[in-house]
Structure 1
Amino acid sequence: MPTSHDLNGLMKFLGRDEWSECFAEVFDDHFNPILADGDMEFEDLAEILGADRAMTLWGCAFEDFLTQDFEGEPSNIVDEYLKRRGWKENAQSRAYMRGLRTSTMSLYEVSDVVPGQSLMARDLLRGGELITVREGTATRTLKQWDKIAARIVPVLGKNILAGGVLPFTREATEILFEGLRGVFGKKNARKLPAIKDEELRAMASMFTLAWMCDALGKAMDMQVLQNAEGDDFIFHDVRFPLASGVTQKDIAARLNGIAGMSRENARFWNWLEYMPQGKDGPKEAGIFSLDTIMDDGLRVLGNVELKGGFLCLSANSAARAKKGTALIRQAAGDLVRTPLTEIRTVQQMMTERPAKDGKTPSSQIPPELAEQVIHEYLDRHYKDTLDQPVGMLGNKTPRQAAKIPTGRQKLAEWLKYLENQTARQPDPTHPMATYSFEWMWKELDVHDLRQ
């Protein structure tokens, strides 16, 4: 018995000569501009992007093919298949095929996602009211404010997503809009005119091409986390064994003599450096500079702690660890032995788990403390950002953008982007994923645009 959205029979029908030639035309529209430019075959996409993504791309081309009318009779594969083989399909499958036949690919912004059940979709190209979509699979991975290129198909009173769903990044969205403006817009126009369904339907391959342009360029890229100096954010824990007969008191005296070492208690020091406010320059969306600034404006470059028979230096980059190690070696001399260094990425640090006995290792940040520390940092980071130029806002500050009608819309898009990026953390309990931007919407008075 076929499932409600089973297209296997229709795909077998595709093997007929008259339809395979027609499909080849549509396939070339979707892939040839990029494959030819990169001297690639379609199979290379699976190697670069993964088999699942390649099959989704193929599905986008296939769904576009189902909407097309070709010269001669029969002119459409869905019409012909239902006429000849429709009796083999159940009512839902027939309704799904008919829905695909007249469907239109568009770009949607999703919200109110209920995993395994539903989502709300806003058409970013044609406008209109929010659409309730019943969906059980994609909603398990989609996040608030995600953008997707998809076909919303009505089936027996419910709206569902067709199989060809492409997640669109900000960059892919810009590529798509630039392409659509070239087709439908006037020269130097910032906004798209109203696009009719039949016009958008004819541009279905543009969604596939825009997505591939972005995805292929980022195939090996990762989001960048940096410190103020622009160094990759990687934790370095440098442990100096104390020499035989050396006490913590001996080491403390040497540490107190290092410029920038601020003693917090008998065993702990903050390694500080003055950094003038605003020296970091404009904040780019999606790039976080995870540093801590003291109330007096001093930046924390690292921490030094005495633990038993060890002097431990912690820093968030290789350059800082190297500099701190040199300072300690120079000050401590032969009181310490050759250090051992442990290196961890942010992802490794945050995915570490307590030991089997349930106790948290002394070198690990407890999850609840990590969340508090990172949330406090993000509060400070974004409060500062409200008065700093932002690229997505035309290099205006968020407070400046909030005073301009066009700026308010860009501001809402920027806030949605920030929310979406934090929500996309693989671990939903990650401190970055649990951070709330609600206060920024209210403070900038754009909460009415959060929809």
Structure 2
Amino acid sequence: MKRGHDLTELMKFATRPEWADDLHDALDDHLGPALTQFDIDSDELPGIIGEHWVMTLWGCAFEDLATRVFEPDGRNVVDEYLKRRGWNEAGPNKIYMRALKASVMSVYEVSAIEPGVGFLARDLIRGGDPVQVRERSASKTLGPWDRIGARILSVSGHRVLAGGLLLFTAEATSALLEALRMGQGKRGARAKLAIGDDQLRNLAPLISMVWLFDILPRMLEPATIPTLHNADGEEVVFHRVRFPFARGTTQALVAERLDSVSVLQRETAHFWNWLGTKPKPGKKGMGQMAWGVTMEDGTPVLGNLELKGRALTLSVTSAERAERGVALITQTLGDMVGAPLTEIETVEQATAARQEGRTSSEPAPDIPVEVATPLVHGMLDRQYRTLLDEPVPMLGDKTPRQCARSKAGRAQLAAWLKHLENLSGRQIDADDPMATYDFAWMWQELGIEELRR
């Protein structure tokens, strides 16, 4: 007798001749429109989105079939299976199957994650308060404010996830909610939906369809990475320049020379910030996608210097800064160092390395996490505190403090902060300083902590 939530025999039963056509129809409802739109055969799909996601979509269609009742005789695959084969199933498994039959698929926002234990899930379609979900595996991989298409079942006093779980982007979530609002004749982006369980149960294929229409264009035609510029308008290309020590040179001698340079600010015993000139008040940006780091007073950080072993390493974000940095260090240290060796990495290469879980060919300075964390968190504190008084495109070019003054603005703020937290939390290394940054103070500063749920 099988135990747990094993649906193997139920799945086999659904492929029997009397149910095969119904299973095929469910699969066609979930996959057919996207396959037709993108002119893809079903056997091509694994090579495009991956075997894992194809099996997940199959699971979504199968779970949808488990909820369907066919007239005129009220046939249901779960009822029929338990009637004929229920004697071979353990009690908990039968309870789970009946819960699956009564379930609905929706899109949820995840929060308060306890890896290996569970998380809170807020229904973005039906609304209401977040519910506690017991989930061991998914809770180890989900990030704060992730959005998932899934079924939450009530089983033996606990809420658990069914097998089909689709990870939604913010864009796909917005597209789905907009489609549902249009279907109800609602125009406002934040108009409340009035969708009951019975109606939502019939919309399960739409959730899979929106997910597919979001992922397929990206998989078929990968988006190019936009050109990124630093605060000086220079294209970002990561340079790491290593200056080997000459005979007789020590770290203490190099550190003494570096401390004598006004534009170099020591942060730790072996680490310096190379500072630029603070911009004049009112100076406008370059009109490009810009990226940079600043000190608390707004002074830009042009690069970093680190002593490690018998070498000094300069890390900067452009070829122009590398050239200026090499000139500065050569002038400062003279014959204390040998000829510099430069490694270069583009944004595309850095992104690919991170996505594949590889160490970048040009890693950030190898600072212990206990040292790096307060430095990074302090930098983020300064950046975000400044940002509270600057226009934000995602907020309609209003400042966060301006948005905090109205109900609609506060709702925008909550979505924006969740977006920031979600991006920050999705690091490969859970101990990465970016992943451990706490945004709670921003919610409190803006007076919207009650919306952080």
Q: Is TM-score (shorter-chain normalized) higher than 0.5?
A: yes
Equivalent residue for 1:314?
315
- The Cα shift of 1:115 comes to 2.4
Counterparts of 1:166-205 in structure 2 under 5 Å?
166-187=166-187, 190-205=190-205
- The Cα shift of 1:426 comes to 2.1
Secondary structure of the corresponding residue to residue 434 of structure 2: coil
Given that 2:294 and 2:383 are in contact with CA atoms closer than 8 Å, whether structure 1 keeps it comes out as no
Q: Match for 2:110: what amino acid?
A: V
- The Cα shift of 1:281 comes to 5.4
In 2, distance between residues paired with 1:87 and 1:288? Answer: 65
In 2, distance between residues paired with 1:381 and 1:194? Answer: 40
1:237 to 237, 240, 243: 240
Query: What do residues 70-122 of structure 1 show as CA deviations (whole Å, max 9, x unaligned)?
Result: 34556321121112112211111111111111211112222332322232222
In 1, distance between residues paired with 2:120 and 2:305? Answer: 50
- The Cα shift of 1:447 comes to 1.4
1:398 to 380, 400, 410: 400
Given that 2:119 and 2:135 are in contact with CA atoms closer than 8 Å, whether structure 1 keeps it comes out as yes
Counterparts of 1:315-354 in structure 2 under 5 Å?
315-318=316-319, 320-322=321-323, 324-325=325-326, 338-343=339-344, 345=350
Given that 1:272 and 1:298 are in contact with CA atoms closer than 8 Å, whether structure 2 keeps it comes out as yes
In 2, distance between residues paired with 1:102 and 1:62? Answer: 14
Query: What do residues 110-148 of structure 1 show as CA deviations (whole Å, max 9, x unaligned)?
Result: 233232223222222112343222222212222333222
Secondary structure of the corresponding residue to residue 380 of structure 1: helix
Q: Match for 1:31: what amino acid?
A: L
Change in Cα spacing, 1:26 to 1:352, as seen in structure 2 (3 Å) is closer
**Corresponding position: 1:366 with 2:368:** yes
In 1, distance between residues paired with 2:258 and 2:436? Answer: 38
Change in Cα spacing, 1:95 to 1:305, as seen in structure 2 (3 Å) is closer
Query: What do residues 314-338 of structure 1 show as CA deviations (whole Å, max 9, x unaligned)?
Result: 2134553255447778999999865
Equivalent residue for 1:420?
422
**Corresponding position: 1:302 with 2:308:** no
Equivalent residue for 2:67?
67
TM-score between the two structures when normalised by the length of structure 2: 0.81
Q: Match for 1:238: what amino acid?
A: V
- The Cα shift of 1:170 comes to 1.4
In 1, distance between residues paired with 2:24 and 2:136? Answer: 32
Change in Cα spacing, 1:420 to 1:310, as seen in structure 2 (3 Å) is closer
Q: Match for 1:80: what amino acid?
A: E
- The Cα shift of 1:243 comes to 8.6
Q: Match for 1:18: what amino acid?
A: E
Change in Cα spacing, 1:282 to 1:143, as seen in structure 2 (3 Å) is farther
Please tell me the root mean square deviation across aligned C-alpha atoms, in Å.
Answer: 4.2
Counterparts of 1:142-161 in structure 2 under 5 Å?
142-161=142-161
- The Cα shift of 1:395 comes to 2.2
Q: Match for 1:2: what amino acid?
A: K
Given that 1:227 and 1:291 are in contact with CA atoms closer than 8 Å, whether structure 2 keeps it comes out as no
In 2, distance between residues paired with 1:24 and 1:89? Answer: 25
In 1, distance between residues paired with 2:436 and 2:31? Answer: 39
Equivalent residue for 2:94?
94
Secondary structure of the corresponding residue to residue 408 of structure 2: helix
1:387 to 373, 386, 389: 389
Percent identity reads: 48
Name the stretch that deviates more: 384-393 or 304-313: 304-313
Name the stretch that deviates more: 324-333 or 137-146: 324-333
Q: Match for 1:446: what amino acid?
A: I
Query: What do residues 212-231 of structure 1 show as CA deviations (whole Å, max 9, x unaligned)?
Result: 23333445679998743577
In 1, distance between residues paired with 2:233 and 2:184? Answer: 41
TM-score between the two structures when normalised by the length of structure 1: 0.81
Given that 1:293 and 1:300 are in contact with CA atoms closer than 8 Å, whether structure 2 keeps it comes out as yes
Query: What do residues 179-224 of structure 1 show as CA deviations (whole Å, max 9, x unaligned)?
Result: 2123223356641431111111111112112222333344567999
In 1, distance between residues paired with 2:285 and 2:404? Answer: 21
Q: Match for 1:44: what amino acid?
A: E
Secondary structure of the corresponding residue to residue 403 of structure 1: coil
Q: Match for 1:197: what amino acid?
A: D
In 1, distance between residues paired with 2:420 and 2:189? Answer: 27
Given that 2:306 and 2:365 are in contact with CA atoms closer than 8 Å, whether structure 1 keeps it comes out as no
Name the stretch that deviates more: 186-195 or 215-224: 215-224
Equivalent residue for 2:410?
408
Given that 1:120 and 1:132 are in contact with CA atoms closer than 8 Å, whether structure 2 keeps it comes out as yes
In 2, distance between residues paired with 1:78 and 1:311? Answer: 68
**Corresponding position: 1:275 with 2:276:** no
In 2, distance between residues paired with 1:226 and 1:316? Answer: 9
Q: Match for 1:341: what amino acid?
A: T
Given that 1:273 and 1:301 are in contact with CA atoms closer than 8 Å, whether structure 2 keeps it comes out as no
Given that 1:290 and 1:377 are in contact with CA atoms closer than 8 Å, whether structure 2 keeps it comes out as no
**Corresponding position: 1:117 with 2:121:** no
In 1, distance between residues paired with 2:213 and 2:317? Answer: 34
Query: What do residues 256-303 of structure 1 show as CA deviations (whole Å, max 9, x unaligned)?
Result: 9xxx972558x978352443457575999xx993413373x4322124
Equivalent residue for 1:211?
211
